[in-house]
Structure 1
């Protein structure tokens, strides 16, 4: 008997030893979990890394490893939940159904395996949101929501579950609701760890306690924020306010995404009415400032489409009402800045804008909008000084507010001593609908542009003046020239005062125009369109917006901020033109069994197939082995109104050790290697030295440099990330600029991808591998998709 009890005691001791986790193992689990959470939060804040797939997959794998290596750790449910969150973040960027399915299943595993855990109902709500809003399975979503209400009727996810269930009630069968419903915060604590606030995919919010800040006029309506203090005794209906606010946000997103509805007045009025109802339902509640701000934003967006003065005035009034009603709210200074911008850029009221900005800086000197307010105030002050004595067409002073003239402020350059800048030459290219004039100078100098409306009585056509305050024309520059059979009819230069040079441009018609400075060499480029379609991103002659001074030429940009363009034009990427480099009589690079014309055609089809699956419309410059002249390729893209031009090539070098993947955008080369690559790819062109000026003009007119640089970065990062994740030794040669003929003349963002060096034996073997090419095609397509999502974020 004693032996029996001894054996039993020994067995129990052994079982305890193998089942109870050692303190050291628990510490390891906690450390691994904390590191994974830290990486997840870092990745959320890093837009560049967050646009790639590989970092998200790495975070998911870290949470999975924690669960796999420490299955009996007390916080396993939290690790699983955060792994699901990371996958949901990835899915919100990739928009792949498989990624959303993976995220939903992960949340469902948490809820099924740990029904007792505080995160179980959170996991169910996330899974229901994904199934209903992302995967279109309303039936499965309802089942999950019913489980929340049955299993956790008093939990803090019950109310959001009811809201989502109500939204799904109008979605019969497996149809998804029209707009997603936000998943609310859990606000609870895990065992020994805090659960971060959870936000629905696509919404933006700050951590609790910091409020919501709108960084600029390019941002949309914020998510609910830290509430203002409510007055005691105020009767309100917070539930109704929350419901109307959510409906207003959904309706706003829906209108923004529908170009036909956005062109009408009624949908915007409906959005404003919903926000107004949310505000009035709980005027002192936490959502009231946001709802009032939403009314003002919707009014501004309506005004941006109607171009009616009374609509812009109404937007200013609404912003001022937010400030008056909620002066202590974090949105108050945002409203004052937006109202000031509207006064300055839409209503030609610089004095009113000055007053608003002065008041903003007095009230909120340390607010997060103070820097932008000071910058706008400085711009307005510079414009006022410059326009105080405005030279007219004949050199006489003209009051700055005279009807029919809209002036852009000077572009101040650093003060320079010594000789004035030299106006080296004026060149142009024009047809019936569009004209581009390039004014080249020896260095940066102050300049300003001014529009003069046509005067039929005086026989004056539409005219632009470009004034340089410290520049003299070169002796070789002719005083004037007439242009026949084109939109541009006459070009002249004049010197109305000492050290001052004016270029006068006459046009047959002028609907839109754009003036900007470019560096290397320094020049001012003027683009004019006879129709809205010819230059959709240019400003109208009757638009009195104040341009941002060009302090540095390489930062020169159109006066209108990018989001403003996206809002008004609904810019996105629908059609991608894929250009398979070389072809026919032009074989391109050949080495180690690779012929460039064949490989680029194969790769073009692979990338095109993936883009089509992602929802893009794809066209090709060539779909068989034929020769297509370089200038015909971009002309074809322009004719087909493509939104993106993607040219694929294979590189070569006399040094067989050189290898790597690189992406180019159109600009002047900055390195010897970029110059060499451009020279090789340009060799088939029939251009001669006499075309140099036209080439330079095309380079400045159509380069879309910033947009193309963005596309190039996304393609480079996505492709390299894909290759490295699949174990390929890809060498990153980076994003570069070079003057490729094949990219010149494109009226859309355009990039040239060098897939690798066929002269490097190892890289040539990889380029002959189907798996390598498939992975590379996946990465390139993902880069294009990421750029499209970047544009979409501007309008969210």
Structure 2
């Protein structure tokens, strides 16, 4: 009877026992397929997975208690369909993983090859190529284990670039990538501390941010006290402490206790739950009572802290830390002491770190920490970073709405205590805006990068976008009550933030505190500039690719030369008529001239175009054997300009000048970065070399330009070519220049351009016929915008003219052009030195 009860009598199809057994058999097999489908695909590969899934179907055919034929046929068909699906799914998954692994290995091999080669490691294009490879690895599957490693090598690539180029832009890109990589690595990963250490050293060595580097090293010791970089971090902190860096004297955080496994609340001891409930009730009572003393609050906080450190407390431990933060926050409201609020921030952060990743209390911890930092500690930067992290990691949390409201409040103008102060502050801001017409836009643009360069008296910020957009800018008055200076925000229409864009860019250059970007709404991105001081700002756009340039001028910015101080005036002896100055008098006069900025020793030479921008081209047509016409490029402007720049630099060095270059190899330098490089290196002159072009091949001649207004359409078209903009829109740049010429050394630049033009034309006419003198002209060249020294642009000839293009390919011709430029600069220097005679 027992054996009969365990069988399925399929021949009695109408019996209840047979139907039940058939259904049971189907359910068992369906459960088998669904439960093991994923494991089979992952561990056994496509072929063996298919075999394992087909085997039970075959077994059902030969089993003595098999299903009826009609049911068996249908069931087998469904199983085979599942098998085919499993095969393709597993094949695709394994192929994708194998592809990313192969891409990563190839990228690492290229990185090592470039790093080991002394010649390749100095080339910018090689490192950008390596960076692009790792970026493709990251985009293949951002959630895989290769993603943080790819970010690490992306940072390494730009670190090598920064060490060769000395550009702060490269160093900042590397710092941002290291931080993103450290965020993605798990805390026990051996590469995580390397990210923080390399980030700290870059901030110290390349960005001159010793305080920021010390904070990163302190964070390294707090998070990875047993890492392989902990010893180096301690040594570097000791060195920074000797140099007087305040942040380096802060004691490193004690080694954290090992992570506790969160046990269920039901298994937490009753005594812990009782103490916790009583403490929470006391906290609620404290909020309602006005007679609570400071000692009462501190005693309650110690109770919560003890629960937070107690083993076996499960989730009651991080909850207690959160309530401890609330206790200190309440205490700070009553006492007004800053250290109470700082203790609250520390507790909220510890609670956030202690909760499991999926716990719903984590976003509450971040929000309370940001609220206290912003409202009571006036640390807007820290609060902003915490809110951005909350929105990014908890998009569906219950605190997102509050975070958005606080972010909007940060950018909202607040009422100033004194109306007079507000009016005075607003009146002191001079705004120069490029006249902007509304453009028709299609699709959603991406804000891909925020770059900045700082000079002595102004800062240039560039917003890079992938397409042209409409935007609006507004200023906010300073708010001394809340510790806020001037703010400028730019709303970018139909724009979203790029995935790799840093939410906050620290500047700290005396003019800007920082630049932060956020998604104001679903179709508008907002960029906020936090100023330390501002007198005026200027905005204009550049094309190909589209970018918005913001020049911000700080206090004390004056285009005129510095006024002679009273002490310097005393040193300068009175000069009588027909009096021949003595050596001592000439020396004193020379020193005063140096103080006035009227002597120069450093010259920045800019070779126009470069990299993917070839400039003007000399094309040659030819016919193949079949009579078909083809053309090839014989001469590129970028090559002629670079060759001339090196020749000119050697001649200046022979005269005793210090020579700098915007580029020495074939790579592109953005227009807005060329004059800024001269400012940062404190060059005394800026000379940009180019070749001209015209639709008419008969046009030829030599000309020199300075920043100014174009007098005819020919010069306007030339400026459009050099600015890489549409000739239809170049008329707008005229209005930009009218705002700018009074800010820069227009008079000195015009004088220098006149002398260089005269010397070059005179020298070339001695050796060549037909040299036409087009004179020194003003033109709205963006490459000259922002130069804080006399700046000129030399057009050495027309590359589209058959005669002059042969000269431009000649080394002898370029040598003679360089001789004329050097003689013109010498004449300009002598004109300044006559003041001291």
Q: TM-score, normalised by structure 1?
A: 0.32
- Specify which structure has the bigger relative contact order, considering alpha-carbon pairs within 8 angstroms and separated by 6 or more residues: 1
Higher Cα Rg: structure 1 or 2? 2
Going by fraction, where is helix more abundant, 1 or 2? 2
